[in-house]
Structure 1
Amino acid sequence: MLSLSMFFISLNFLIKEYTMILEVSLLKLNSSEIIMTILLDWMSLMFMSFVLFISSMVIFYSKEYMSSEKTLVRFILLVVMFVLSMMLLIISPNLISILLGWDGLGLVSYCLVIYYQNLKSFSAGMLTALTNRLGDVAILLSIAWMLNYGSWNYIFYLDLLKNSNEFQMISYMIVMAAMTKSAQIPFSSWLPAAMAAPTPVSSLVHSSTLVTAGVYLLIRFHYCFSQSLCYFLLLISSLTMFMSGLGANFEFDLKKIIALSTLSQLGLMMSILALGSSKLAFYHLLTHALFKALLFMCAGNMIHNFMNNQDIRYFGSMIKTMPITCSYFMICNFALCGVPFLSGFYSKDLIVEFMSMEILNMFIYLIFYISIGLTVSYSFRLSYYLIMGKFNFLSLSIFNDSSKIMLIGMSGLILLVVFMGSVLNWLLFSNIYFIILPFLMKLMTLSMILIGMMIGIEISKFKLNYQLYSLNNLSYFLSGMWNMPLISTYGINKVPLMLGMKYLKLDILWLEYYGSKNIMFLLNLFMKNISFLLKNHLKIFFLLYLLWFFFMLI
Structure 2
Amino acid sequence: MICIIYFFMFLVISIFLFFYSMDFMISSESIIFEIEMFSMNSTSIVMSLLFDWMSLMFASFVLFISSMVIYYSKEYMEGDLEINRFILLVVMFVLSMLLLIFSPNLISILLGWDGLGLVSYCLVIYYQNWKSYNAGMLTALTNRLGDVAFLISISWMMSFGSWNYIYFLDCMKDSLEMNIISFLMLFAAMTKSAQIPFSSWLPAAMAAPTPVSALVHSSTLVTAGVYLLIRFNLSLSLYNMYLLMFVSGLTMFMAGLGASYEFDLKKIIALSTLSQLGLMMSILSMGGCVLAFYHLLTHALFKALLFMCAGVMIHYLGNNQDIRSMGGLINQLPLTCTFFIICNLSLCGLPFLSGFYSKDLILDIVSMNDLGFYVYLIYYFSTGLTVAYTIRLIYYVVVGNFNFQSFHMIKDSGIYMLMGMAGLIMNVVFMGSLLSWIIFPYPYIICMPLFMKMMVIVVMLLGLWGGYEVSKMPMSGYLFSSNYPNMSFYFGSMWYMPYLSTFGMNYLPLMSGNLNYEVVDRGWSEYLGSQNLFNYISLSSRIFQLIYKNHLKIFLLMMVLWILVLLMF
TM-score, normalized by length of structure 1?
0.91
Provide closer, same or farther for how the CA distance between residues 319 and 511 of structure 1 changes in structure 2, counting only shifts above 3 A.
closer
Following superposition, the deviation at residue 512 of structure 1 comes to 4.9
CA distance in 2, matches of 1:87, 1:287: 19
Residue matched to 2:304: 293
CA distance in 2, matches of 1:205, 1:276: 26
Partners of 2:354 and 2:433 within 8 A in 1:
yes
> Does the residue aligned with 1:23 lie in a helix, a strand or coil?
strand
1:275 paired with 2:289, answer no
2:330 to 309, 319, 328: 319
2:500 to 487, 491, 508: 487
- Partner deviation per Cα, 1:111-151 (whole Å, 9 max, x = no partner): 00011011111011000000000000011111111111110
Following superposition, the deviation at residue 274 of structure 1 comes to 0.3
1:145 paired with 2:159, answer no
1:157 paired with 2:168, answer yes
1:114-513 alignment runs, 5 A limit: 114-464=125-475, 466=477, 468=479, 469-470=481-482, 471-505=484-518, 506-508=520-522, 510=524, 512=526
Following superposition, the deviation at residue 395 of structure 1 comes to 0.8
Provide closer, same or farther for how the CA distance between residues 239 and 32 of structure 1 changes in structure 2, counting only shifts above 3 A.
closer
- Give the letter for the 1:479 counterpart: G
Higher alpha-carbon deviation: 433-442 or 421-430:
433-442
2:51 to 34, 40, 46: 40
CA distance in 2, matches of 1:460, 1:79: 37
Residue matched to 2:73: 62
CA distance in 2, matches of 1:161, 1:465: 58
CA distance in 1, matches of 2:471, 2:117: 37
> Does the residue aligned with 1:35 lie in a helix, a strand or coil?
strand
> Does the residue aligned with 1:249 lie in a helix, a strand or coil?
helix
Partners of 2:252 and 2:276 within 8 A in 1:
yes
CA distance in 2, matches of 1:452, 1:116: 37
- Give the letter for the 2:491 counterpart: L
Provide closer, same or farther for how the CA distance between residues 180 and 28 of structure 1 changes in structure 2, counting only shifts above 3 A.
closer
CA distance in 2, matches of 1:358, 1:292: 28
2:111 to 97, 100, 121: 100
CA distance in 1, matches of 2:41, 2:290: 43
Provide closer, same or farther for how the CA distance between residues 428 and 467 of structure 1 changes in structure 2, counting only shifts above 3 A.
closer
Partners of 2:470 and 2:478 within 8 A in 1:
no
Following superposition, the deviation at residue 170 of structure 1 comes to 0.6
1:66-81 alignment runs, 5 A limit: 66-81=77-92
> Does the residue aligned with 2:32 lie in a helix, a strand or coil?
strand
Larger CA Rg, structure 1 vs 2: 2
CA distance in 2, matches of 1:237, 1:442: 24
CA distance in 1, matches of 2:127, 2:139: 15
- Give the letter for the 1:143 counterpart: I
Following superposition, the deviation at residue 30 of structure 1 comes to 13
Following superposition, the deviation at residue 359 of structure 1 comes to 1.0
> Does the residue aligned with 2:51 lie in a helix, a strand or coil?
strand
Aligned-residue Cα RMSD (Å) equals 1.8
CA distance in 2, matches of 1:472, 1:191: 25
- Give the letter for the 2:222 counterpart: V
Provide closer, same or farther for how the CA distance between residues 150 and 27 of structure 1 changes in structure 2, counting only shifts above 3 A.
closer
Unaligned runs of 5+ in 1: 518-554
Following superposition, the deviation at residue 446 of structure 1 comes to 1.3
> Does the residue aligned with 1:37 lie in a helix, a strand or coil?
strand
Following superposition, the deviation at residue 508 of structure 1 comes to 4.2
Residue matched to 2:567: none
1:15 paired with 2:26, answer yes
CA distance in 2, matches of 1:495, 1:514: 27
Higher alpha-carbon deviation: 48-57 or 25-34:
25-34
Partners of 2:42 and 2:161 within 8 A in 1:
no
CA distance in 2, matches of 1:512, 1:130: 35
Aligned residues: percent identity? 63
Provide closer, same or farther for how the CA distance between residues 508 and 271 of structure 1 changes in structure 2, counting only shifts above 3 A.
same
- Partner deviation per Cα, 1:500-528 (whole Å, 9 max, x = no partner): 112323234647579999xxxxxxxxxxx
Unaligned runs of 5+ in 2: 1-11, 532-569
CA distance in 2, matches of 1:485, 1:29: 44
Provide closer, same or farther for how the CA distance between residues 515 and 281 of structure 1 changes in structure 2, counting only shifts above 3 A.
closer
- Partner deviation per Cα, 1:417-461 (whole Å, 9 max, x = no partner): 000000000010014333111001001111111111111111000
Provide closer, same or farther for how the CA distance between residues 392 and 156 of structure 1 changes in structure 2, counting only shifts above 3 A.
same
TM-score, normalized by length of structure 2?
0.89
Partners of 2:43 and 2:158 within 8 A in 1:
no
Following superposition, the deviation at residue 31 of structure 1 comes to 9.9
